[in-house]
Structure 1
């Protein structure tokens, strides 16, 4: 069995398959529970399960917070069953962001054997990765026990007896299984139990034209270097250590490839290599420079110039206050009296799935039941929402508010994000956008609901990359900014615009690609400039709008419509004029006096 599990994990490492390991919690304790379960609780229990999720050779489980280990090396020993539940194409960065959001839910202090255990975590994580959870007979077992009189009586004793096992420390640090020719993600735990990714860039060995093409294409928005070398070339050995050090120093600013021409004749012929070492540099996939010789100073100098050419001129501007803005999303988490919300729903509140969602929200926000976190049937909730999109507006409002409250939980926002084209929420937004004018209460709760979509890292990425959905958001924002009767609408719209701009800024800055489609960015900026030009907004809203403008303009394509719009609408003068209202706010000064004054000067 263990050999089979190990082979499965090797498959996981290579192919991004996701497996669930099912183990016995403890052979001794489990034996007693199984033996006496019928007489004590009136129900026969076959086993007491511990589950974990394996991805990329790393085993993820919940005990002392979210923990990780090399697959198959935890204190729970060999698994009794291995379930291959599917394949994920989600990028590792996104998965780690999601786990980071879950650490606020799955803390060591919140562990509860019956209501919040390893199986709840495995179910949530697998739902996120592949859209389906672990077997129902595992997740339902605690409630089966609690539904019996003796189960309730024995609950404290069982919870206490199992603590030393379920919350034992991780025996070994996480490690990778298998090898890869590319820089790999290594998952570690900080002392506080959070999950971080440590990536150490390294030279990528390429042997085929396809290898080189793929890596150059991946680096098309920045730069790359290819070193052509040979095992029989003594000068090459002098530059190998320098080249390896450079890869670590430049990190993700450049991709460094190495080709051994003794093993890659086709590549040597394609690039006309007649001597080694030879270096070729690429800027945005186009050949930029070429030289031969083992001169470390020349190598370092040329790579430095290459990276400078690849970097956007905005990186040379002193806008530290703008770049220091807290990019965490603005969420609207205030809980209204649930009885009043139910009353507004009318008969809808009696639907089983609505009762379940209301109970989940009440339990989640109750200090006495803070450990209850099992999410309701999200598939049923999605179907109900989709069927309710044409409800009368007075009935649609409380349903959108219920969705707003549910989306605060990243597990729920992550679920809706993974639905194709955000179909359900997109149809709800389309209905709301079709109202002219949109009723105040519906408009406000729609803005708050959209802000809460950003509780999940997967939504933050996918929102920006889906032209249809991002267009729906910008339409909602544009109409909301035009509302000159309600300051709360404009303020809430500014919050949603900030969430969009912050997510887009992170993509540009960290991954060097445009997230929000260009047309939507231009339309959003035009609405922001128009709103900023009115006298109807207060100082705090002005500060937020200027920060949004700054985040949308910073690192924007230099030859695109964004710069043209800024010039045409005199964005510099518009922002500078608002300094008299915002006083000495440094972000406003950074955007007006530096970014818009100097960052557009070469356009």
Structure 2
């Protein structure tokens, strides 16, 4: 018997522990790299890890230095010769070009090795790190950058430029990637591109132990027994299987719903032995497992039947939602596209109004510098991106915001927030309202702790609404901020950062809830639009995550982002929003606002978890009577609004 240990290193060299709460809103103690250490002969242990292929070194002698933690994985009955044969076979599977920082990395390799050697697995806190990271707004914003780092471009195509994330984030990411893929002998390695197929959420299984671990840890498992080298039909069906994994695999924020997909190549590791254990005599063969028990099997190339069997497995694993049986044509017809405020004002007039307020305020070098940033950088950018045209046409290639623009703009905003009264600041808010229509600006803001300047502006609106009275200038500021927020909630990652990012103390809900009850109709309309955008992001995530039919996505083309999914999983703010919607509906008489409020409530209620908090809350609040009561208001006349009220009333539990 030989002892097996897991060496754990931090690829960020302590930066993750220092910066994770600030960047992600969640404490992440390290970006974990692991290696396997086996001591077949006392005093002659060997450390094996995956980076630029499979590397071997003496324990603690790799470029990662000394491990932060050593975990005892138990003993192995495998002899050294068998272990070396296994590693040789795995070298064709764990190659440098397949490496991906999140999807196929050193921890995928050590988990496979742990299963082969001991029948166990590596600790969950290591395996779950990618999901934990991607469920944060920061992780969701950086995912495209990470994928671009490992994507092999099509022949003749130029590499896509990375999105403008924070310099500190980009530097940390590049450092982690370089550290992850260094070999012991490479001093200055260049990370290699991975194949496109590795973007799918696939779980490698090369031996019986790792496969049993997968069956134990997932309710639904779809296994693909293949011979990629010697089976042409396997190569034909492989892209279909990978697409199914991308559509119906377990995603961050899904509450564990979805299936685990695993590909078992008979020529890799102990794949042939594993196939024999399950009676596989021909490839391709697919097996479907529910709670560790095989429930069906499919042989040959039949994409339609493969999809049907996968859907049936998920239907069995996750029973249908009660709302599936209701006839809800008006609810189903709701567009989940965000309501955006896109009107472009005369930007010179907007700046002149703000500049005059700066000029009459107590002068300082910082306020004058802020004014020049707006004049020399911000206004020209907005004019170029949103030029006035007679026919309203957009430029074919509008300029995108860059960090060189956004960093000084954010600093100028912080300066002016401290120097000007709210009634003088709404032109600045209006500039940001347009900026968050630019995906590049959204990506940058989503990576800034707490969405930076946007949150600072929202905090002022929240405090203003807490006052018993507001003058016209304050009303204008609140209205413009609500429109900014409605646009911001058109992007899930930015919305998530505003709702629960670092330092959040309820600015968004603290602004939205009183605004829904405001005396001014325009303010209520903007607030109802924001409420709908927030609720629609939840609905998008539930639909894409299979909230309706047993985990089966109801529309693969309408896939939600990781940030959408994370927002859908967080019920605390949904409960507060649902309560505010019911109260606002009870008081509202304007048809347009009623329409947006009831549409938002529909999004919160549809496919809400049966054991969640939203349903019981609306029952206690008597939401059914409130919603159906709007049918008796003379101002509510449109057929589509009345039909929506009837259907949402039927979704509300009776009091």
TM-score (norm 2): 0.54
Structure 1 residues 215 and 487: alpha-carbon distance in aligned structure 2, compared to 1, 3 A threshold? farther
2:524 equivalent in structure 1: 490
In structure 1, the residue matched to 2:440 is 411
Listed as ranges, the matches of 1:97-176 within 5 Å are 122=161, 125-128=162-165
Shift of 1:180: 6.7
1:343 matched to which residue of 2? 353
Render the CA deviation track for 1:283-328: whole Å, top value 9, x for unaligned: xxxx274458879999999755532242433334332332332222
CA distance in 2, matches of 1:131, 1:12: 27
The question of 1:434 aligning with 2:446 is answered no
Distance 2:424 2:164 in 1: 30
Deviation at 1:267, TM superposition (A): 13
Aligned to 2:415: 387
2:329 corresponds in structure 1 to 320
Structure-2 residue corresponding to 1:359: 380
Cα offset, 1:567, TM superposition: 1.2
**Residue 498 of structure 1: how far off its partner (Å):** 1.2
Matched, 1:543 2:591: no
Contact 1:128 1:414 in 2 (8 A): yes
| Contact 1:281 1:290 survives alignment (8 Å) | yes
Structure 2 vs 1, CA of residues 249 and 228 (structure 1 numbering), >3 Å: closer, same or farther? Answer: closer
What residue is the counterpart of 1:597 in the other structure? 650
Q: Residues 438-476 of structure 1, C-alpha deviation per residue, up to 9 Å, x if partnerless? A: 531121111011122245454245456648659321111
- The residue aligned with 2:205 is 206
1: CA distance, partners of 2:147 / 2:224:
38
Which whole-Å CA distance do the structure 2 matches of 1:505 and 1:470 have between them?
A: 25
What's 2:450 paired with? 421
**1-structure distance, mates of 2:312, 2:652:** 21
* Higher RCO by CA contacts (8 Å cutoff, separation 6 or greater): 2
Asked whether the equivalents of residues 516 and 523 of structure 2 are also in contact (C-alpha less than 8 Å), the reply is yes
Q: 1 CA distance for matches of 2:97 and 2:439?
A: 25
CA contact (8 A) 2:449 2:501 kept: no
**Superposed CA RMSD:** 4.9
Contact 1:400 1:449 in 2 (8 A): yes
| 1:578 pairs with one of 630, 640, 650 | 630
Shift of 1:521: 0.4
Aligned to 1:373: 399
How many residue pairs end up in the alignment?
A: 429
Specify the alignment match of 1:533 in structure 2: 586
For residues 293 and 364 of structure 1, the distance between their equivalents in structure 2, rounded to whole angstroms, comes to 55
Partner of 1:568: 620
In the TM superposition, residue 359 of structure 1 has moved relative to its aligned partner by: 2.4
For residues 440-519 of structure 1, the aligned pairs below 5 Å read 440-454=475-489, 456=491, 458-460=493-495, 462-463=497-498, 466=501, 469=504, 471-483=506-518, 485-511=519-545, 513=565, 515-516=567-568, 517-519=570-572
- Residue 405 of structure 1: CA displacement? 2.9
**Which runs of 5 or more residues in structure 2 are unaligned?**
1-51, 53-94, 103-145, 172-191, 249-257, 281-285, 360-366, 547-564
Distance 1:243 1:402 in 2: 48
CA distance in 2, matches of 1:546, 1:268: 58
Q: How far apart are residue 571 of structure 1 and its match? A: 1.9
Is the 2:400–2:438 contact (alpha carbons within 8 Å) kept by the matching residues of 1? Answer: no
Match for residue 332 of structure 1 among 312, 332, 341: 341
Q: Are the counterparts in 2 of residues 276 and 293 from structure 1 also a CA contact under 8 Å?
A: no
Corresponding residue SS for 2:336 = coil
**TM-score, normalised via structure 1 length:** 0.58
Distance (Å, rounded) in 1 between the aligned partners of 2:577 and 2:322 = 23
Contact 1:447 1:493 (8 Å CA) reproduced: yes
Which residue of structure 1 aligns with residue 279 of structure 2? 276
